[in-house]
A and B are shown apart, each in its own frame.
Chain A
């Protein structure tokens, strides 16, 4: 098991290094930091622009490979370079990672929990009203892009604030209210008010996907001999379903769970941008628009590492649920 994990880790590390290098080279070739200076008034003299770009390791007159070597050397020492405004990329990203983690952990947790429960229940009561309802709902949700879900939620929330609550209960923009002085509890409630809508918009789609997977997996398992044997041995139906059927049916879903988590670290872009959360995904878009090569490269490196961690977590979850993997 340990040897298998080490081999996996090595393979994925090489992949991440290659992917991050490719992203850096692509960003360095395609993005043009020099254009940021072209619109300024008064126009800075070319020598000053060159000096500034060179200091940030963004000067396109320096050969590409030399810039890449400087960048890679910094990354190995844990230095991701500087943004176009001159502040270190690492500090900014660390703060944003916290924001994204809060959103993604809650979203994935609620989404997968609801999805797994709904899928398992739908499979147990196949073709009854709950199964039909959840199947129908998940088909509709799967057809709606996150962009539309988020915008619908905003419209719904502003309607509910006006008509149902009478005051601002669900807040649609940002992580917290600036300059709020309401003590610890007041601030905590304020954060929760901001958190509700982004979490819901992230969870809905995930719940739909997970419920489909879980239902199909569970249906395959329900007819299996060992579940019937467990009931015949005298286990209650509920216990047989929970201990034997659900556990087996969770194995493929666990793999999917880990990958979703990894992919969402930058994939929650739409939710973040629409709800005005200053997370990693939002920064990725902003940095592409502002030709910020170093930030783009750092975020794609992070995304690669997230996928790596996710695939390792998938292997571990697999081992925890499936005894055959542990013994092999």
Chain B
């Protein structure tokens, strides 16, 4: 065995696990060195804490009605004030935030996974697989997403928000999938994939073992950007009553109700709107910092 072969064998035997680990560490290190990465991560963590631990410290739940306080401004008893129905705005906001965060995260995960699978399969197999998948992608781009979601909204009733997540994700993945397809086509010509193919690795396994991991940076960044896109879409749909259905609440339904009373009862609108903006801003900052952290060419940090 020559020296170079020895080195190669060494790399193959124990290099793999440590290298993956170190890449993760490099990215994490870069991410947490950038001020916006830290800020975004901290704010996002605080939001999650507020949404899921907050209900424990207030004595009102989002279904409670206080019949002694209608449309009252913030007070020690009701921290964010109350609505016309006597419902506590703080409890409602936290409940809405739980729903919006969970829906946003899940929809982003599903849509990124879909984009990765469809794009990688279309790009790797080409031919008829590619034609069928690309055509489906184009069709979903032309189909008015808003219309389909709105028509299906009666199905999103009580407890059916999982279906809402799937439908939301179904209209977020197309552009990323096109990018993934293009990158897969160029990856397919690289030596390590050709080597795997000549060694007889089944094509599906090549896609999962070699193609997708090499697109991980793009996919991670895409997922974070999709989180904010999904939260905003959910908010907009719920605003018109096409998203989360009552009695459950989300940021969208709260903003829709709040905007009607905003001129004379500002607390019904500004707290929710403010929290939404801060949440999405934090997600965007995390996405931006991740993009820089994954990019090996990004020397000029902000």
Contact = CB atoms under 8 A, between A and B. Distances in A.
Interface of A: 12, 15-16, 18-19, 22-23, 26-27, 30-31, 127, 139-140, 142-148, 151-152, 155, 158, 266-267, 269-270, 273, 284-285, 288, 296, 299-300, 303-304, 307-308
A26 B148 CA distance: 8
B152 interface: yes
Contacts of A158: 263
B263 A288 contact: no
A155 B276 CA distance: 18
A266 B139 contact: no
A145 B273 CA distance: 9
Q: Which among B141, B147, B154, B278 has the highest number of chain A CB atoms within 10 Å?
A: B147
B150 interface: yes
B280 interface: yes
B277 A140 contact: yes
Contact of A142 (B154, B273, B279, B284): B284
A145 B232 contact: yes
Contacts, number: 106
Contacts of A144: 273, 276-277, 280
B150 A19 contact: no
Interface in B247-302: 252, 255-256, 259, 262-263, 269, 273, 276-281, 284-285, 288, 302
Contact of A145 (B135, B151, B276, B288): B276
Given A158-B263, A273-B240, A303 B232 contact: no
Nearest to A303: B144
Contacts of B138: 15
Nearest to A142: B284
Given A296-B151, A304-B142, A307-B142, 13 more contacts: A18-B139, A23-B144, A26-B147, A139-B285, A140-B281, A143-B276, A144-B273, A158-B263, A284-B144, A288-B147, A296-B147, A299-B144, A303-B144
Contacts of A148: 255, 273, 276-277
A16 B269 CA distance: 40
A151 B269 CA distance: 10
Given A26-B151, A31-B151, A146 B142 contact: no
A49 to B, nearest CB: 21
A26 B152 CA distance: 9
Pick from A145, A285, A304, A308 the residue with the most CB of B within 10 Å. A145
B262 A151 contact: yes
Contacts of B252: 147
Contacts of A300: 143-144, 147
Contacts of A267: 146
Nearest to B238: A147
25 contacts: A15-B142, A18-B139, A19-B142, A19-B143, A22-B139, A22-B143, A23-B143, A23-B147, A23-B148, A30-B154, A127-B302, A143-B278, A145-B236, A146-B236, A148-B277, A151-B269, A151-B273, A269-B240, A284-B147, A299-B147, A300-B143, A300-B144, A300-B147, A304-B143, A304-B144
B59 to A, nearest CB: 29
Contacts of B255: 145, 147-148, 151
Contacts of B152: 30
B184 interface: no
B139 A139 contact: no
B146 A269 contact: yes
Contacts of B148: 23, 26
A143 B228 contact: yes
Contacts of A19: 139, 142-144
B80 interface: no
A20 B151 CA distance: 15
Contacts of B90: none
Nearest to A285: B240
Contacts of A31: 151
A16 B142 contact: yes
Nearest to B36: A139
Contact of A270 (B142, B143, B236): B236
Task: Please name the 3 residue pairs, one residue from A and one from B, whose CB atoms are nearest each other, closest first.
Answer: A143-B280, A143-B281, A151-B259
B235 interface: yes
Given A30-B151, A147-B236, A155-B263, A307 B228 contact: no
B124 interface: no
A145 B285 CA distance: 16
A19 B269 CA distance: 38
A265 to B, nearest CB: 10
A147 B284 CA distance: 19
Contacts of B284: 139, 142-143
Contacts of B142: 12, 15-16, 19, 304, 307-308
Given A27-B151, A270-B236, A139 B281 contact: yes
B121 interface: no
Given A15-B139, A27-B151, A266 B277 contact: no
A145 B235 contact: yes
Contacts of A299: 144, 147
A184 B283 CA distance: 49
A74 B235 CA distance: 37
